[in-house]
Structure 1
Amino acid sequence: MKTWMILLSAVTALVSVESFAADAAAGKAKTAVCAGCHMADGNSVNPDWPSLAGQHADYIAKQLADFKAGVRTDPMMAPMVAALSEEDMADIAAYFESQTAKGGEADPVLVEAGKAMYVSGNASTGVAACAACHGPTGSGNPAAKFPSLQGQHAKYTAKQLRDFRSGARGNDAGKMMQDVAASMTDAEIEAVASYVQGLR
């Protein structure tokens, strides 16, 4: 009986996963409205708006769901996600994940300070190293839903860090990013955001 229950649970799980399988091709058609800010291939040209190309699908889907639920707020994103279903979000996320990120360049003046923060953090103020969660190349950790940071716009990254620091953004698991950003100075934020922009 126990073996039967285990097999039934496994089959049920497989069916559930299959029924929510994301479709990148369908997602491409659904991203028409996204392209106005994030561009058709997800490589935003405006530093105020994030590039989504190559971002982990689970992370994108979570952000869309959080915007829709009001857990994460943005006056421009709220109307964009209002009519999206879970399937729509999964498809859109799959499409953007399938695109190739173009990336940017770090400010040479800020590279050393940014690298120090990214790789080592600041032990004296308790700021953890970014690389611990986002990896040495900024590729993130999809299993843990830690986003890729590779090539992300410095201006956008800096704003997110300031928002985590102020509490304006609070949809991070266990307040991890809020805790990290809380002790970061403006100079540290600008430096590490610039460094991230140049990561490949």
Structure 2
Amino acid sequence: MYRFILSSLYCTSLLALIASLPLLAKETPKAYAQCIACHGENGEGNAALSSPAIAGLSEQYLSRQLKNYASGKRGYESADSYGQQMAAISKSLDLNKDVPELAKYIATLPKPTIEQKVSGDLKNGHRYYHAKCGACHGGQGQGNSSFKAPKLAGQHFDYLARQMQNFSQGMRGKHPDDKYGRQMAMMARTVSDKELADILFFISQQ
């Protein structure tokens, strides 16, 4: 009986250790320390600092945007002050080591719960979103890796509005080598202010 109890305790301890291995392996990259001040410890973003939520974005998208900032494809316009901040930070990263580590880690962070006081016409938002956004970004704003389209659900309303403005005004998606940015810039110019407000309201409900 005594041996059976010891054997059971050993098995329980072993199972607990095995279960904890993924958590032990998920070590925070050192480079993430400079992200926390703006994007939060869990990648939830900070509306007061106009910083977007980055938790749960795909590795593919995160890696591409960090490299776009570092290469000058994004954040090069003087009027885009937030983009210029990110460009400066991205240029300090090791593109071969830091960027892959950051992208992989951030992609594993759970989707944040963001409480937003926004209003709009949900029915119209649903209609406009699916007519102009859903084919690439997914029916519920979950993103689509096949189209290199990022997740929109769980993002700060003001950030999405600002990026659409940046696209439509040529502050983003203007660089000739930013293929996906140029696609978004064209789409952004087809959306009216009223449509955008309702689209963003729809996304905020996802």
Normalization by structure 1: what TM-score? 0.76
- Give the deviation of 1:163 after TM superposition: 1.1
* Structure 1 range deviating more: 135-144 or 56-65: 135-144
Matched, 1:118 2:129: yes
Structure showing the higher helix proportion among its residues: 2
Aligned equivalent of 1:16: none
C-alpha displacement at 1:177, in angstroms?
A: 0.7
Contact 1:138–1:149 (Cα < 8 Å) also in 2: yes
185, 195, 198: which one pairs with 1:188? 195
CA RMSD, 1 decimal: 2.0
Equivalent position of 2:155 in the other structure: 152
| Alignment correspondent of 1:102 | 112
Q: Deviations over 1:143-185 (max 9, x none)?
A: 3321011111111001111111111101352721111111211
State the alpha-carbon separation in 2 of the partners of residues 106 and 198 from structure 1.
11
User: Tell me, what secondary structure is at the counterpart of 1:31?
Assistant: helix
Counterparts of 1:41 and 1:55, CA distance in 2? 12
For 1:82, give the aligned amino acid.
K
Secondary structure of 1:76 counterpart? helix
Mark the CA change 1:182 to 1:109 in structure 2 (over 3 Å): closer, same or farther: closer
Question: Quick one: percent identity of the two aligned structures?
Answer: 29
Q: Is residue 165 of structure 1 aligned with residue 196 of structure 2?
A: no
Amino acid at match of 1:66: N
Gaps of 5+ in 2: 1-24, 76-82
Q: How many residues align?
A: 168
Measure how far apart 1:71 and its partner are: 0.6
- The answer to whether 1:141 aligns with 2:152 is no
Higher radius of gyration, 1 or 2: 2
C-alpha contact (below 8 Å) 2:47/2:158 kept by paired residues: no
Which fold has the larger relative contact order, with Cα–Cα distance below 8 Å and residues 6 or more apart in sequence?
1
